[in-house]
Amino acid sequence: MRKIAVVGAGQSGLQLALGLQKTGYEVTLLSNRTSEQIRTGKVTSSQIMFDRAMRTERDLGIDFWQDTTPQVNALAIALGHPEHRSTRIADWSSKFVKPAQSVDQRVKAAYWLDLFVSGGGKLRLTDAGISDLEDLSRSHDLTVIAAGKGDIVNHFERDDSRSVFDRPQRVLGLLYVDGMVPHSEPLRGCIDVAPGVGEFVNFQALTTSGPCQIMLFEAIPGGPMDCWNEVKTPDDYVATAKRLVAEYFPWHRDRCDRIRLTDDNGAISGRLTPTVRKPVATLPSGRPVLGMADVVVVNDPLSGQGANSAALCADLYTKAIVEHGDRKFDAIWMNQTFDRFWDYAQYVAAFTAALLTATPKVVNAIVTASQDPTVAKAFTQGFDDPRTCAPWLIERPDSVQGVAA
C-alpha cells in the first residue's frame, strides 16, 4: 500500500486525504488543530461553492449539508455612482443554473477531520516545519502541502511569470452575522461595487449555530473603507459594518439594523496578495514536496473562487495520484500534475484579476447586464466556471485541459 502524507486540514487537504483514503491509500494528515479547536475557533474564510466544485464532494460522498445549508439561487450585482452614493448605475440579478452554497469551514473541516480519523487515517497534531517535511518525505511515497499559511509556504518560490500582483489589492473585513434581513426569493448572493472605495459581498451560509449571513468588505488599500486595522472587538466589527453599509451601500442599510455576530469568533480581518508560486519545493535533503490549492495559487476572495479551486485541485490531484500507479512521484510528475491544474486555475486568476482591477470589459459587462439578461446570465455562469468568461470578459490564457467539465 502506497503511503501519502498531506500537510494541512482545510478544504483541499482534507478532501485529498479523504479521497485517497477511500481509494485505499495509507494517508497521514498533519493539522495544527484538533477538530474541536477548529469547530470553536475563528472563522477562516468567506467560502461560497458553486455546482462544479460541489460535485467533487458529492462524488466522494462527503457532502453532508445539502439539506441544512441555505441554497444561494442567484447572483445580484450593483454598481454604485462614484459621486452620488445612493444612486446605482447598474443593478441586476440572474439565477445560477444550479444553486451555490456556503458551509463554514469550521463546520466542514471539523466534521471531515473526525471522519478521516474514524476511517483509520493517521493524524499528527503539529505546526509542521522543515524537519516534519523531511520526516514525512523520507517515510512516505509522496508529501503534499495543503497548508496555505505559515512558514512552510515560504519554501515555494513565487512564479513571477504568472503572478500579476506584488501587493494586496484589498483590505478585508469578514463577519458572520445573525439578524440581517434576507432578500426575497430567490435567495441571492450580492456583490455591490462602490467605485474607488471597494466592494461589499453578502450571501447566506451555514455556520456552527445554524443558518446565517456572511458580510465581506473588500476595501481598496488607502481608500475610505480601509479601516479594518483599527477594528478589534466583536462590537467594533458590527458597528463598522453598519457604518460602511450606510455610507457606501445605503440600499442595504435597512437590512442591517439588527445584525449581530453569530459568535465572538465570527469575524476576522486581514489582507493577502494574489500570488502564483512554483508547485515544487526542494527540501534540504533534496527530496521534493508538492504544493496544492492556495499554497501555489492564491486568489482574493472577491471572485469567490478559493474553496472551489481547492476542491477542484483536490479532485484532480487524487485522480493523478491514482493514475500514476506504482511509479515514483518525482519532481517531473509533480510539475506535470500542477500544470494540469494550472490549465484551469489560470482562468480563475485572470477572472479574479479582472474583478479586482475593474477592467473596462468588466465595468461594461456589469452595466450592459442591466439591460441584457443574456449578458447577466453569462456573467453569473463565470463564477461557476471562469473559463466561460474568455475572451469576452477576461483575456484568454492558454488552452484548457485537466479539470473535468
3-class secondary structure for 244-255? HHHHHCHHHHHH
Tell me the backbone φ, ψ of residue 322, rounded to 5 degrees. Answer: -65, -45
For the chain, the residue count is 405
Which of the two residues, 398 and 88, has the higher pLDDT score? Answer: 88
Beta bridge partners of 360: none
Percent of the chain with pLDDT over 70: 97
Section 134-155 average pLDDT = 92
Q: What is the pLDDT of residues 339-367, one digit of tens each?
A: 999 999 999 999 999 999 999 999 999 99
Section 284-307 average pLDDT = 97
CA 155 to chain centre: 22
pLDDT for 301: 98
pLDDT for 403: 66
pLDDT for 183: 77
Beta strands in 131-287, from DSSP E residues, in sequence order: 142-145, 171-178, 188-194, 198-207, 210-219, 260-261, 267-271, 275-276, 280-282
pLDDT for 400: 45
Q: What is the pLDDT of residues 163-172, one digit of tens each?
A: 999 999 999 9
pLDDT for 185: 65
Is the peptide bond prior to 211 cis by the omega test (within 30 degrees of 0)?
A: no
Tell how strand 275-276 and strand 171-178 pair up: unpaired
Rg (CA), the chain: 21
3 neighbors 25 (Cβ within 8 angstroms) = yes
pTM summary value? 0.96
Which of the two residues, 105 and 188, has the higher pLDDT score? Answer: 105
Phi-psi region of 270 (alpha: psi -120 to 50; beta: other; left: phi over 0): left
What is the Cα–Cα distance from 188 to 199, expressed in whole angstroms?
Answer: 16
What is the Cα–Cα distance from 262 to 2, expressed in whole angstroms?
Answer: 43
pLDDT for 376: 98
Residue 399 has pLDDT above 60, yes or no: no
Q: Is the dihedral of CA 130, 132, 137, 141 positive or negative?
A: negative
- In this prediction, residue 150 has a pLDDT band, given cuts at 50, 70 and 90, of confident
Q: What is the pLDDT of residues 54-87, one digit of tens each?
A: 999 999 999 999 999 999 999 999 999 998 988 9
What the chain holds in terms of domains, given with CATH numbers, is 3-63+105-165+274-389 (3.50.50.60), 72-100+170-271 (3.30.9.40)
Section 220-249 average pLDDT = 97
